[in-house]
RNA sequence: CGGGGUGUAGCUCAGUUUGGCUAGAGCGCUUGGUUUGGAUCCAAGAGGUCGUAGGUUCGAAUCCUAUCACCCCGACCA
């Protein structure tokens, strides 16, 4: 490709909209352009990278026995009503009507469509297992799109769905996909971590997320430095010892004027926060709840939502409930269902709100003075908590979720009546798995992890081109040398970009660095001695090489990169 | 949805407080010259319904009202 002809509008200045480094570099390198909030066009350079990644994905998934197909973007509402998600999914689901007023949505994911397909076509356990995938555009009307293609409203996703007659078969496939994912991200030279995850609205049992570690990651991950344990903070649990407490005081009301927060309470009474019990009020679709935590703990709303089996919950912070907000507590209260964190139940006693303005109650014994309907882990795990496997302290990191695999079970097949006939002649719902990779997000994550002050530093397998040839000066001699190298490299299938623009050397060097192409060949002042310079973008190492040995040199470099 | 902010040239931004002639700068773009190993320098030039609509005024980028878009924080979310 000739740079003179290649549409690659690089930007010298930083676009104001760009928040994170990957977004800045994708815009500056001419990979993407924004069309509207969370909606992007991929320009030729960006699309080349995306196709590189897609090829890797296809190779690994085909190897794992999955079959590629393509499903529609436009989904009839009936299928979503069958699965129940027409109601469950919020405004994130883009809904529309056709000219005949029939309802549709734009697919944010494809469980309904694939289940619909399979229930019509597969009847026997003998057909199973099967694993389908597609690489396709997804639509989610995100509340707040940001970070460029990292959280977009329209984005490309690889999604796969597997169908099984037994749990064991699902486990086996899940394992295969897990390894395929590892291969994919390994091949992209990404530094990632696999963590246990919450399943969210997609549902299901086991679930792992593939997190590319990056400070700008939106997800927080807890991991153990000593064993294999790693989990998304939404899911992470911990082994926490509740310290022995001093002798229980008499149960009595304490006058605590205007003391509404745990911090104020602990200070006012000169007790540690962990001797208090925090009462949070939540409103869900099925009722109103009191959630109890140790004073020093934070709520994990994902866990809470799961424990309550609610779709939507909202913390009540105003005084719409006509209770003395700041002084509510579980003792002798009416109207709320009480859910208590495990750790609260291990406390010998605690201080709670007294349900009377300006009063708290001390000496409250969990399980005796109040009896929760639900006891569960609803606390946010923190850095330093004990690992649930080995008790060593957990650490935190930030990550970008690039892949997510789920064991769905029969949630969709059951709801949508997708059954097969098992060996015993009985009708059973398909057991399903589901596996996603954010394609654009992975590209962004790769940049997030591979860049320097000058620009992108592509890992070889994702690079839009492997080599960029710079011809400095306009002499025929230099142009001829550059052109020969350019042609010879293409002859051995090395994707090469030749910067033949009439630009100053500085401009070409800067653009080459910005684009991040792994090898840069400079044809300039050494050309008359029959030599050129090769520079490796990642290490910055340069080497002067004889013109006749360039192709061989590149070929060997390529082999070292395992291609 | 709540709070805050921004919309002026392709990009980054000044000008708005205190209304006043023909709306500016840098970068980019075009032309000519110059230079050629890290974003040269010189000269000439093109490019703007000042987000949109309405209002106030002799006069609006500037003041008022409405509206749209975008951005940030929160809620929310694979």
**Could you report the per-residue pLDDT of A233-258, keeping only the tens digit for each?**
888 889 998 888 888 899 999 999 88
Confidence band for A204, pLDDT divided at 50, 70 and 90:
low
- What is the per-residue pLDDT for A54? 97
> For residue range A49-99, what is the model confidence (pLDDT) as tens digits?
999 999 999 999 999 999 999 999 999 999 999 999 998 888 889 999 998
**A46-237+396-448, CATH topology level:** BirA Bifunctional Protein; domain 2 (3.30.930)
> For residue range A534-552, what is the model confidence (pLDDT) as tens digits?
999 999 999 999 999 999 9
Q: Which of residues 290-309 of A touch strand B (CB under 7 A)?
A: 301
Kindly report which amino acid residue has its CA closest to the C1' atom of nucleotide B73: A144
pLDDT above 90 coverage of chain A, percent: 69
Mean pLDDT estimate for chain A:
91
With a 7 Å cutoff on the CB, does A16 touch strand B?
A: yes
CA distance A95 to A92: 9
CA distance A87 to A91: 10
With a 7 Å cutoff on the CB, does A514 touch strand B?
A: yes
pLDDT above 70 coverage of chain A, percent: 98
> Which nucleotide's C1' atom has the smallest distance to the CA of A108?
B78
- Answer yes or no: is pLDDT of A319 > 70: no
Q: Which of residues 389-448 of A touch strand B (CB under 7 A)?
A: 401, 404, 436, 438, 441
Q: In chain A, what are the domain boundaries?
A: 46-237+396-448, 252-376, 465-560
With a 7 Å cutoff on the CB, does A529 touch strand B?
A: no
- What is the per-residue pLDDT for A200? 60
With a 7 Å cutoff on the CB, does A157 touch strand B?
A: yes
**Cα A70-A71-A74 angle, rounded to 5 deg:** 145
CA distance A432 to A129: 10
Sign (positive/negative) of CA torsion A53, A148, A210, A383?
positive
What is A465-560's CATH number, 3.40.50.10470, 3.10.180.10, 3.80.30.20, 3.40.50.800?
A: 3.40.50.800
With a 7 Å cutoff on the CB, does A324 touch strand B?
A: no
CATH 3.40.640.10 correct for A252-376: no
Estimate in Å the CA A15 to C1' B20 gap, whole number: 35
Estimate in Å the CA A551 to C1' B8 gap, whole number: 52
The ipTM (two decimal places) reads 0.91
Average the pLDDT over each of A87-96, A152-161, A319-328 and give the range with the smallest value: A319-328
Q: SS3 of A135, please?
A: strand
């Amino acid at each position: 490709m000739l740079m003179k002809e290649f549409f690659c509008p690089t930007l010298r200045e930083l676009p104001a909209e760009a928040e994170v480094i990957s977004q800045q570099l994708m815009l500056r390198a001419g990979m993407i352009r924004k069309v509207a909030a969370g909606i992007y066009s991929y320009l030729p350079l960006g699309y080349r990278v995306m196709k590189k990644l897609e090829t890797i994905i296809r190779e690994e998934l085909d190897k794992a026995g999955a079959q590629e197909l393509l499903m529609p973007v436009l989904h009839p509402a009936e299928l979503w009503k069958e699965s129940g998600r027409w109601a469950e999914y919020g405004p994130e689901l883009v809904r529309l009507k056709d000219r005949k007023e029939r309802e549709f949505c734009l697919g944010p994911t494809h469980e309904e469509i694939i289940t619909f397909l399979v229930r019509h076509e597969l009847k026997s356990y003998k057909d199973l297992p099967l694993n389908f995938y597609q690489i396709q555009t997804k639509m989610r009307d995100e509340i707040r799109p940001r970070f460029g293609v990292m959280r977009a409203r329209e984005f490309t996703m690889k999604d796969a769905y597997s169908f099984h007659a037994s749990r064991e078969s699902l486990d086996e496939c899940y394992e295969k996909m897990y390894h395929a994912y590892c291969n994919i991200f390994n091949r992209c030279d990404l530094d990632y971590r696999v963590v246990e995850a919450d399943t969210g609205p997609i549902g299901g049992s086991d679930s792992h997320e593939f997190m590319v570690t990056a400070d700008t990651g939106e997800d927080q991950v807890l991991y153990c430095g000593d064993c294999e344990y790693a989990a998304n903070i939404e899911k992470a649990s911990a082994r926490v010892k509740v310290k022995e407490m001093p002798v229980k005081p008499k149960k009595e009301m304490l006058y605590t004027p205007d003391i509404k927060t745990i911090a104020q309470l602990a200070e006012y009474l000169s007790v540690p926060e962990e001797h208090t019990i925090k009462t949070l009020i939540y409103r869900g679709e099925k009722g109103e709840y009191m959630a109890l935590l140790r004073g020093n703990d934070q709520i994990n709303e994902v866990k809470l939502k799961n424990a309550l089996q609610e779709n939507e919950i909202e913390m009540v912070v105003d005084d719409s409930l006509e209770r003395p907000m700041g002084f509510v507590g579980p003792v002798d209260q009416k109207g709320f269902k009480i859910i208590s964190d495990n750790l609260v139940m291990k406390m010998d006693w605690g201080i709670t709100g007294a349900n009377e303005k300006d009063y708290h109650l001390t000496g409250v014994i969990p399980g005796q003075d109040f009896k929760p309907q639900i006891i569960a882990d609803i606390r946010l795990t923190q850095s330093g908590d004990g690992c649930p496997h080995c008790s060593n302290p957990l650490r935190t990191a930030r990550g970008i979720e690039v892949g997510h695999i789920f064991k769905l079970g029969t949630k969709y097949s059951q709801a949508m009546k997708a059954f097969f006939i098992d060996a015993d002649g009985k009708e059973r719902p398909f057991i399903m798995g589901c596996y996603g990779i954010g394609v654009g997000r992975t590209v962004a994550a790769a940049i997030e992890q591979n860049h320097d002050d000058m620009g992108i530093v592509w890992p070889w397998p994702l690079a839009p081109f492997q080599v960029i040839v710079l011809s400095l000066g306009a002499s025929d001699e230099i142009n001829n040398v550059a052109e020969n190298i350019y042609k010879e490299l293409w002859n051995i299938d090395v994707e090469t970009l030749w910067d033949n623009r009439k630009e100053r050397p500085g401009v070409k060097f800067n653009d080459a660095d910005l684009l991040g192409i792994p090898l840069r060949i400079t044809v300039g002042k050494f050309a008359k001695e029959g030599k050129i310079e090769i520079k490796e973008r990642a290490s910055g190492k340069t080497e002067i090489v004889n013109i006749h040995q360039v192709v061989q040199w590149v070929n060997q470099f390529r082999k070292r990169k395992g291609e």
